Structure 1
Amino acid sequence: MVQTSPSAAPSERKARLEVLTLSTLGFTLMFAVWLMFGVLGVPIRKEFGLNDVQLSWLSAVAILNGSIWRLAAGILADRYGGKVIFTAMLFLTAIPAFLVAHVSSYQTLLFYAFLVGFAGNAFSVGIAWNSAWFPKDQQGLALGVFGAGNVGASVTKFIGPALIALTPAAGYLGGVIPGGWRFVPFLYGVLLILMGLAMWAFTPRADRKPGRGRPLGEMLRPLRNVRVWRFSLYYVVVFGAYVALSAWLPKYYVDVFGLPLYQAALLTALFIFPASLLRPLGGYLSDRFGARRVMYWTFGTLLFSSWLLSMPDGHIVLYLPSKYEADGMREVLPYTMTVWPFTLLVFLVGVAMGVGKAAVYKHIPEYFPSDVGAVGGLVGMLGALGGFFLPPLFAYTQAVTGMPQTTFMVLFALTLVSAIWMHLTVISLLNKAAPQLRGKFEHVEHGGD
C-alpha cells in the first residue's frame, strides 16, 4: 500500500472516495445487466415458448460469461489499473446489451445473453481497484461497500415489470427504441455508456497498479495454496447461490405460489436487499470480530433456513389397525410452507449471504496483500461459476423429483460440505497450535492449511 504524507491526506481521502463511489455505482449497474434475465425470463419464456430447462440456461450462460474472465480481469486491474479496465468493460458490455434488445430467436438470444454476461466480471476489477487504494484496516469496510453493488440484482426486479407494462410493444421511433421487455436491455446499454464516461472523467487520473512489472507466473503463484480453493467454495455458497437464487426466485414465486410477476419480483427483492446491502456490515463485523467467526454465523444461519425451506409440503401417513382408524391410515405432522414464512426464511438466507460475502473477501487482502487481483479473481470466478451451475441443477433436480423444494435441498447440502471443511480445518490448526491460541481463528490460520 502506498503511504501518503499528512499533507497529502485530504487529497488521498478524496481520491479513495472517488474510486469507491464510482466503482460501486458502476458495479451496481453491471450487476443489474448481468442478472436481468431473472425477471425478463418470464416474458421471454412466453414469447419464445420455452420450458423451465431452456429458461434456466438463458440465465446460466450469462452467469457463465460473468465468471470465467474474473481471474484475468483481476490480474489486468492489478497490472494496468482498475480505472482503465473498468471503463473498458462498461463500454464493451453496452454492445451486446443493444443486441439483446433486437433478438429474434431463442438460439440468438442465448448467444447474446452469453455476451452480455461479461458484465459480471466487473466485480474482481473493483475488488482489486479498491484494495489498491485503501489501507488494510479499512479494506473490510471498503470492500463491503463496493460489494453492496450486488443490490443491482434488484434493479430489474423493480423497474423491469413497470417498464415492460408501460412501453408499447412496437417501441418508439419506428422500433429503433424497442418496446416491451426489450426496452430494458436497450436502456441498460445507454446507461452503460454514460457510466463509462462518468468513470473516466471523475476518478483519479493517476491510478495505482500494484501488479505493474510483476511476471505473470509470480502473480499466479498464490493460487497453488489450498486455502484459496477453500475460500472459493465458501464463495460458491454465499455468492454463487445468491446469484442463482436471484435469477430463480421470481419463477419460483410464480410457479409455486401463483403470484403475478410484479409481486414475485418485489418479494425476490426482499432477498436481494439484505444479501447486498448488508455486505458493508459483514465487512465491519469481519474487521471487528474476525472473518472466521462471521463465517460460522453465516453457515449456521444458512443451514437452519435452507433446512426448513427444503421440507416438502405434505404429511406423514401411519398405517394402524382398523380398530384405531376405520380406513387403517392416520395422517400426522401436516406441513405446508405458505408465501410469507417462505419469504421470511429466504430473507434470512439473504442476510447470511450478505454478511458472509464480505467475510470471505476480508481474508484475501489479509492473507494475500500483494495478489488481491489474482486471488480475488479466482475466488470470484469459482464462486460465480457456482451461479452458472446451480440454476440448471435446480431445474434438473426439480424435473426428476417433481418437488420445487429441491432448490433448497441443494443449497443445504452445499452449505453443509463447506461448513464441515471449514470446521475440520480450524480443529486441525487448533490441535497444532498452543492452547492459549484456542478460539483465535484468525491468528491460528496463518499457520497454514
Structure 2
Amino acid sequence: MTAPSTAPAPPSRGGRWIQQWDPEDETFWKETGEKVAKRNLLFSVLSEHIGFSIWTMWSVLVLFMGPEYGLTPADKFLLTSMVTLVGAVVRVPYTFAVAIFGGRNWTIISAGLLLVPTVAAFAVIKPGTSFNTFLLVGLLAGIGGGNFASSMTNINAFFPLRKKGWALGLNAGGGNIGVPVIQLVALAIIGASGGPRVLLGIYIPFIVVAAVLAALFMNNIENVKNDTGAAKDAVKDGHTWIMSFLYIGTFGSFIGYSFAFGQVLTNQFGRTPLEAAYVTFIGPLLGSLIRPVGGALADKYGGAKITLYNYVGMGVATAVLIAASMQKSLGLFTVAFVVLFVLSGLGNGSTFKMIPGIFQTKALAKGLEGEAAAAYGRRLSGASMGLIGAVGALGGVGINLAFRQSFLSYGSGTGAFVAFLAFYAACFVVTWAVYLRRSAAKGQATTASEAKPQLSYAEV
C-alpha cells in the first residue's frame, strides 16, 4: 500500500494543517505518522498539565486561607465542589472545539484562557474578600478542567487503535500530574512562609510558554471535521453512558480526592496546612504516574478485565479507610488513601482504553472492515470521550459534596467513605454484567449479530 501524503493543506489554511492522516496504515505510521503523533502528544501533555494545575489550584489555595479569611470547612468544600463542577461541564464544548478550530489551534486558545482564572485569583486572594467573590473567581478556574477533554479528543485522532491505551494513558497521566505538581510547589512556598500570590505568580509565565510551544510545534488534522452527527450518535449510544458511570468511579475519585484530601487531613485529623501539604501531593502523584500503566495493561489484557479487578482493589482500600477513620488512625488512613489514589489512576487508564475498543468492536459487528471500521471507531470514540470525561468529572463534585455533608452531619468523613464503597460495588457489577458476563456465557441464545460484539467486549 502506498503511504498517504502528509503534505500540508494549501496556504490558505496555514502551514500547520495535515491533509491526510491514516495511523492504521503501518507503512505510513512507521515512516511518518509516529514521529508527528509523538511530537503532538508531548506538547498536548504540557498544555493539559498546566490546565489541571490551574483547575485544582483552589484545593491548594484553601490551605493558605486561615481563620482570618472567615471561611468554614463547609464553605471550602462548597468552593472546591463548584470549581470541579465547572471543570466537568466545560469538557463537553472543549471536546468539539478540536473539530471546529483544529487540535493545535484550540490548544493555543485553551492554554491562553488559563491566564483569566490565574490573574483573577491573584487579584482577590486576600483576607476580607467575600466568599461570593472567591466562589465567582473559583468558578473561572474550572476552565482548566476542559483542557483534558480537548487534549484527549485530539490525541485520540493521532494514534492507531493498538497504541491508544498507551498514548491516551500517557496524555492523561501527564495532565493529571499537574495536580501533585501544584501541590508540591505550594508545599515549598508554605515552607518558605510565602503567600498564595507567589504560587499564582509562578504559573502565569508557564501558561504563556505552553501556548507559544503549541503554536510552534503542534498540528491540526484536516480530516477531523466538525461532525455534529457524531455527537448525536454518541449521546444515543448506551455504551457512552455506561462508560461515563464507570469513569465516575475512577476519574471522579481521582479529582474529587485531589481536591478534598488536604481538607480531610486538616479538619478530621487536625493537621496544619504545612503538615497536610507534606502528604497531599503523594496520592495524586502516584495516581498520575500509574495511569499510563493502566492503559498499557488494558492494551495487553483487555480494559474490561483490568477495570473489574481494579474496582475490587478500590473497594478494599475504601473499607480500610472506613476502619481507619473510625479508629482515628492517621497512619493507616494516609496509607489507604494513597493506595486508593493509585488504584483510581490505574482505573483511569483502563477505562479510557475501553472506549475506542468498544466502538471499534461495534464497527466490526456492523460488517465494516479496514479503514472504514477504524474511521467509525475514531468518529464515535472521539465524540464520546468529552461526554464521558465530563460525567466522570462530576464524580469529583459528588465526592466533595459528600464530604461536606458528612462533616456537617458526623464531624468526619466516615459517612462519605461508606457511600463511596457502595458506589464502587455498583461499578464492579456493571463492568462484569455489561462487558465480561456474556463472554463466559457462550452457549446462551443470542443472534449472530449480537454474539460477535458481546464476545469481543471482554478484550476492549
TM-score bucket (shorter structure) = 0.7 to 0.9
After superposition, the Cα gap between the structure-2 partners of 1:442 and 1:243, relative to the gap in structure 1 and judged at 3 Å, is farther
Cα distance in 1 for partners of 2:263, 2:235 equals 37
Is structure 2 residue 208 aligned with structure 1 residue 193? yes
Cα deviations across residues 19-44 of structure 1 (Å, max 9, x unaligned)? 11111121111111111111211222
After superposition, the Cα gap between the structure-2 partners of 1:211 and 1:419, relative to the gap in structure 1 and judged at 3 Å, is same
Give the drift of 1:313: 5.6
Equivalent position SS for 1:101: helix
**Aligned with residue 187 of structure 2, among 147, 150, 161:** 161
User: What are the equivalent positions in structure 2 for 1:105-254 lying under 5 Å apart?
Assistant: 105-148=130-173, 149-164=175-190, 166=192, 180-204=195-219, 207-212=220-225, 214=227, 216-254=228-266
**Aligned with residue 296 of structure 2, among 252, 262, 284:** 284
| Aligned partners of 1:67 and 1:121 also within 8 Å | yes
Give the drift of 1:164: 4.1
Give the drift of 1:122: 0.7
After superposition, the Cα gap between the structure-2 partners of 1:222 and 1:363, relative to the gap in structure 1 and judged at 3 Å, is same
Gaps of at least 5 residues in structure 1 are 169-179, 315-335
| Aligned partners of 1:70 and 1:378 also within 8 Å | yes
Mean Cα deviation higher: 121-130 or 216-225: 216-225
User: What are the equivalent positions in structure 2 for 1:62-81 lying under 5 Å apart?
Assistant: 62-81=83-102
Match of 1:317 in 2: none
Count, aligned residues? 410
Give the drift of 1:11: 3.9
Cα distance in 2 for partners of 1:357, 1:290 equals 14
Give the drift of 1:87: 1.4
Match of 2:276 in 1: 264
Match of 1:379 in 2: 388
Give the drift of 1:376: 0.2
Match of 1:353 in 2: 344
Aligned-partner residue type, residue 142 of structure 1 = A
Match of 1:325 in 2: none
| Aligned partners of 1:78 and 1:209 also within 8 Å | no
Mean Cα deviation higher: 123-132 or 2-11: 2-11
| Aligned partners of 1:35 and 1:247 also within 8 Å | yes
Is structure 2 residue 419 aligned with structure 1 residue 404? no
Give the drift of 1:7: 7.3
| Aligned partners of 1:234 and 1:418 also within 8 Å | yes
Aligned-partner residue type, residue 304 of structure 2 = R
Cα distance in 1 for partners of 2:355, 2:29 equals 28
| Aligned partners of 1:87 and 1:200 also within 8 Å | yes
Cα distance in 2 for partners of 1:24, 1:161 equals 23
* TM-score (structure 1 length as normaliser): 0.85
Equivalent position SS for 2:177: helix
Aligned-partner residue type, residue 140 of structure 1 = G
Cα distance in 2 for partners of 1:294, 1:42 equals 35
Match of 1:444 in 2: 455
Cα deviations across residues 196-249 of structure 1 (Å, max 9, x unaligned)? 111111223xx21554153x1343212212221111111111111211111111
After superposition, the Cα gap between the structure-2 partners of 1:96 and 1:441, relative to the gap in structure 1 and judged at 3 Å, is farther
Give the drift of 1:76: 2.0
Match of 1:2 in 2: 22
Mean Cα deviation higher: 68-77 or 228-237: 68-77
Runs of 4+ in 1 over 3 A off after TM superposition: 3-11, 164-168, 430-435, 440-443
Cα distance in 2 for partners of 1:441, 1:51 equals 55
Give the drift of 1:442: 8.4
Aligned-partner residue type, residue 281 of structure 1 = V
Cα distance in 2 for partners of 1:24, 1:242 equals 18
Cα distance in 2 for partners of 1:430, 1:283 equals 21
Give the drift of 1:262: 2.6
Mean Cα deviation higher: 231-240 or 45-54: 45-54
**Aligned with residue 299 of structure 1, among 311, 334, 340:** 311
Cα distance in 1 for partners of 2:280, 2:452 equals 35
Cα distance in 1 for partners of 2:225, 2:137 equals 34
**Aligned with residue 338 of structure 1, among 311, 315, 329:** 329
After superposition, the Cα gap between the structure-2 partners of 1:236 and 1:441, relative to the gap in structure 1 and judged at 3 Å, is farther
Aligned-partner residue type, residue 367 of structure 1 = I
After superposition, the Cα gap between the structure-2 partners of 1:112 and 1:213, relative to the gap in structure 1 and judged at 3 Å, is closer
After superposition, the Cα gap between the structure-2 partners of 1:197 and 1:47, relative to the gap in structure 1 and judged at 3 Å, is farther
Match of 1:329 in 2: none
Give the drift of 1:157: 1.5
* TM-score (structure 2 length as normaliser): 0.83
After superposition, the Cα gap between the structure-2 partners of 1:427 and 1:283, relative to the gap in structure 1 and judged at 3 Å, is closer
> What is the root-mean-square deviation in Å for CA atoms of aligned residues?
2.6
Gaps of at least 5 residues in structure 2 are 1-20, 360-376
After superposition, the Cα gap between the structure-2 partners of 1:428 and 1:38, relative to the gap in structure 1 and judged at 3 Å, is same
Give the drift of 1:186: 3.1
Cα distance in 2 for partners of 1:373, 1:380 equals 11
Cα distance in 2 for partners of 1:232, 1:8 equals 31
Name the % identity.
22
